[in-house]
Amino acid sequence: MTPEQLMSLRATFRSPRRLLTESLAGLVVALALIPEAIAFSVIAGVDPRIGLFASFTMGVVTAIVGGRPAMISAATGAVALVIAPVMKEHGLDYLIATIILAGVFQIILAVLGVTKLMRFIPRSVMIGFVNALAILVFMSQMPELFNVPWMVYPIVIVGLVIVFGLPRITTAIPAPLVAIAVITLVTVVGNIDVPTVSDKGELPDSLPAFFLPNVPLTLETFRIIAPFALSMALVGLLESLMTAKLVDDITDTRSNKTRVSWGQGAANIVTGFLGGLGGCAVIGQTMINVKGSGARSRLSTFLAGVFLLVLVVVLGDVVGMIPMAALVAVMIFVSLITFDWHSIQPSTLKRLPKSETAVMLITVAAVVATHNLAVGVGVGVLTAMVLFARRVAHFATVERTELLLNGETVATYTVDGELFFASSNDLYTQFDYAKDSSEGIDRVIIDLHGSHIWDASTVAVLDSVTEKYRNHGREVEFIGLNEASVRMRERLAGKLNS
């Protein structure tokens, strides 16, 4: 860990109140991770214990190697969906090999500086990502509210009252933990028959053990697992980096995204060798940790993993009695506090450019429709790029003037704006070639003081303009190019058009 991280941990241990907050936050997160880890194991087609072990190792390892403080990493649905075909077609050994290779890819991508690409994700895509995840968290709870005993509904309502109402009275104990404890006690004492955690699947009764996948170390094996491993690496990094950025905004702190990236890779490698499912950051539990419980350090992340293992291995019978309705209430609470309600207020929508709103809505729609964050964010970024290109394509203006200079009539075109492939494509049509070749015009000047050449497309257009004037018997003179534009034009002029 860095000196700053060690100082942060020391400060946490020196404050009994902060230590209690971080510890209770870890306990709440551990409880919330159990049913989801089991559900993601079902998606991947593996034993529930594999998903639970992954949530333990991902949390502990990222906390130790330096993941984003207070961000929770565990088994996730996005990763489970990507690697499920490997389990189905090739079995558990190939699945674990895929997870280990994905971790290696994530470390390589971190070293190559993939985190720098985060700067190209617009704010509207980020808001769409957050809102889509809030919707997915809410939708994931719906199966727990259909075809269930009627007592589930009042229990969920009571849980929501507690998680929203208790913070108005005290924040000493996380409201989600109180809700889970109170509801569990009431259902057990009252012998209320509702679905519980034990109904989701068998909990492990032993610690994870070293697992070496029995796959041949050949190019054929690499060919089989590499595409899935790369997809898992990209999806995991994207979700982790976006979640880290969200926590940065909530806590007004900055995190080292490169460290987050290779930390996720290291965690997946360790998880694979312990027979776990692999994973990445989980926004729902992260919001429970940061917003719902007030955690701020990596201690809560570490304890979430430790508590999870203790709960399922040592206290499995007790955990199994927790009503799913209590956890549903907590997750609905998470979805409601995660959603950016300000982004859809009429006053906000009225002020924002329509293109920004469109990008946000398209990102939400793509994520919700595909349940794939990488696809949704990719579609959002692509949409933002297209709309931006359309908008700036009209920023370059051309104005023609005629003046008498040293006894000559000079036609001057003043070009203003950034010139790149989008804005320069119609530049060719902005000049009056026929009029400028008449006897009344002696010289043609194109003034580029207010412009900048950004790409080869613009150089090719200027070459075409030069050639067009030459065909009309005129030599055009370009003036005002800045130094960078001059260098680009000297390097490419006359070499782009056949």
Q: In DSSP terms, which residues pair with 479 in a beta bridge? A: 447
pLDDT tens-place string over residues 403-417: 888 888 899 999 998
pLDDT of 497 reads: 60
Helix, strand, or coil here: 447?
Answer: strand
pLDDT of residue 496: 67
With a cut of 70, which residues of the chain have pLDDT below it? 1-9, 392-394, 496-498
**How much is the pLDDT for 45?**
81
pLDDT the model gives residue 194: 94
Euclidean distance between CA atoms 101 and 458, whole angstroms? 43
What's the confidence (pLDDT) of residue 265? 96
CATH 3.30.750.24 matches 397-492: yes
Note the pLDDT of residue 156: 95
The domain spans of the chain are 3-356, 397-492
Classify each residue of 162-172 as buried b or exposed e, where b means 16 or more C-beta atoms within 10 Å of its C-beta.
Answer: bbeebeeeeee
Give me the count of residues in the chain. Answer: 498
Bridging pattern class, strands 408-419 and 397-405: antiparallel
Query: Which secondary structure element, helix H or strand E, spans residue 381, and what is its range?
Result: helix 373-392
The pLDDT value recorded for residue 7 is 47
Tell me the Ramachandran region of residue 412: left when phi exceeds 0, alpha when psi lies from -120 to 50, beta otherwise. beta
What Cα–Cα distance (Å) separates residue 24 from each residue in 31, 64, 258, 293? 11, 19, 29, 8
Q: Note the pLDDT of residue 203.
A: 79
What is the C-alpha to C-alpha distance for residues 334 and 77, in angstroms, rounded to an integer?
Answer: 17
Give the three-class secondary structure for 98: helix
Residue 76's pLDDT is 87
